């Protein structure tokens, strides 16, 4: 019986790519950098994803992710890489300005309130996630928020999940369910931590045969059926 859902935010409850695109393109205007085309956003997104994967593997600290992605992106475009720091500072706030729910996630989270305890588990920055959860209204329905920046460890690191377990001593691992879109942070982290996993896979990507994922869904509204 599932007593607690551990929700990922970016790419799961909220459409991260839409927020990313809106933030980057708007900030290009604010910083007087000209037009940021969809192709340029796609290139930034690829660089960003590669940096986060390195963080998940424990190869680099988060600050290197936040600044390195823009440093590399700007260097490719011939933009002064020294803009990385001020650009990233504005970007963290701008990410929360565009709220697009995946599968009407706010209604889903509301409907589950009182039926199961719900928590956020995210590698996003405190600044960005705090604003997103507030503006989206999702935060009001969560019983707790676990952010890697505050816990001192990132998903899928076991240290992240140990902090969650310590904070929720009355809930057995077997009665938790982590729901997320990332194989490398959410699913791999959940499996290593010994809790049931639910892979949100709306794009119907191939499921890794070697990864013992408990459930796979294409729509978040399938989650209640798993409880």
- We report the CATH number of the domain holding residue 72 as 1.10.150.240
Average pLDDT over residues 22-42: 97
Average pLDDT over residues 97-105: 97
Residues 116 and 66 in one domain: no
Residues 161 and 215 in one domain: yes
Residues 213, 199 contacting (CB under 8 angstroms): yes
pLDDT of 88 reads 97
Residues 59 and 136 in one domain: no
CA–CA–CA angle 65, 48, 151 (5° rounding): 45
pTM: 0.94
Q: Let me know if 61 is exposed, middle or buried by CB neighbors in 10 A (0-12, 13-18, 19+).
A: exposed
Residues 42 and 104 in one domain: no
pLDDT of 82 reads 96
Residues 108 and 195 in one domain: yes
Residues 116 and 222 in one domain: yes
pLDDT of 122 reads 97
Residues 110 and 72 in one domain: no
For residue 143, the enclosing domain spans: 4-15+100-226
- Residue from 72, 79, 91, 162 nearest 132 by CA: 91
What CATH number does residue 9 fall under?
A: 3.40.50.1000
With bands split at pLDDT 50, 70 and 90, how would you rate the model's confidence at 123? very high
Residues 141 and 212 in one domain: yes
Which of helix, strand or coil describes residue 84? Answer: helix
pLDDT of 33 reads 97
Residues 147, 122 contacting (CB under 8 angstroms): yes
Residues 120 and 89 in one domain: no
Residues 57 and 165 in one domain: no
Question: What b/e readout covers 123-146, taking b as 16+ CB neighbours within 10 angstroms?
Answer: bbbeebbbbbbeebebbebbeebb
Partners of 180 in beta bridges? 199
What's the total number of domains in the chain? 2
- Residue from 60, 167, 166 nearest 123 by CA: 60
**49 is a catalytic site residue:** no
pLDDT of 208 reads 93
pLDDT of 204 reads 96
Report the chain's C-alpha Rg in angstroms: 18
Cα–Cα dist 205/200, whole Å = 10
Given 97, 112, 138, the domain boundary residue is 97
Residues 83 and 121 in one domain: no
With bands split at pLDDT 50, 70 and 90, how would you rate the model's confidence at 143? very high
With bands split at pLDDT 50, 70 and 90, how would you rate the model's confidence at 110? very high
């Amino acid at each position: 019986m599932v007593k607690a859902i551990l929700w990922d935010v970016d790419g799961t409850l909220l459409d991260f790519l839409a927020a990313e695109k809106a933030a980057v393109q708007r900030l290009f205007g604010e910083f007087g950098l000209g037009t940021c085309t969809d192709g340029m956003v796609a290139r930034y997104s690829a660089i960003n994803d590669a940096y986060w994967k390195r963080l998940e593997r424990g190869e680099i600290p988060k600050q290197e992710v936040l600044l390195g992605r823009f440093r590399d992106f700007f260097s490719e475009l011939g933009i002064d890489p020294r803009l990385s720091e001020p650009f990233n500072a504005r970007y963290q706030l701008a990410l929360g300005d565009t709220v697009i729910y995946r599968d009407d996630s706010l209604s889903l989270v509301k409907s589950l309130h009182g039926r199961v305890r719900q928590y956020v588990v995210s590698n996003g920055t405190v600044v960005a996630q705090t604003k997103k959860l507030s503006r989206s209204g999702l935060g009001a329905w969560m019983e707790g928020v676990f952010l890697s920046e505050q816990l001192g460890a990132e998903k899928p690191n076991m240290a992240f999940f140990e902090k969650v377990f310590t904070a929720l001593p009355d809930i057995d691992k077997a009665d938790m369910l982590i729901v997320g879109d990332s194989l490398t942070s959410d699913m791999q982290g959940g499996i290593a931590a010994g809790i049931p996993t639910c892979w949100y896979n709306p794009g119907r990507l191939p499921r890794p045969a070697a990864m013992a994922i408990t459930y796979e869904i294409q729509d978040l509204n399938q989650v209640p059926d798993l409880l």
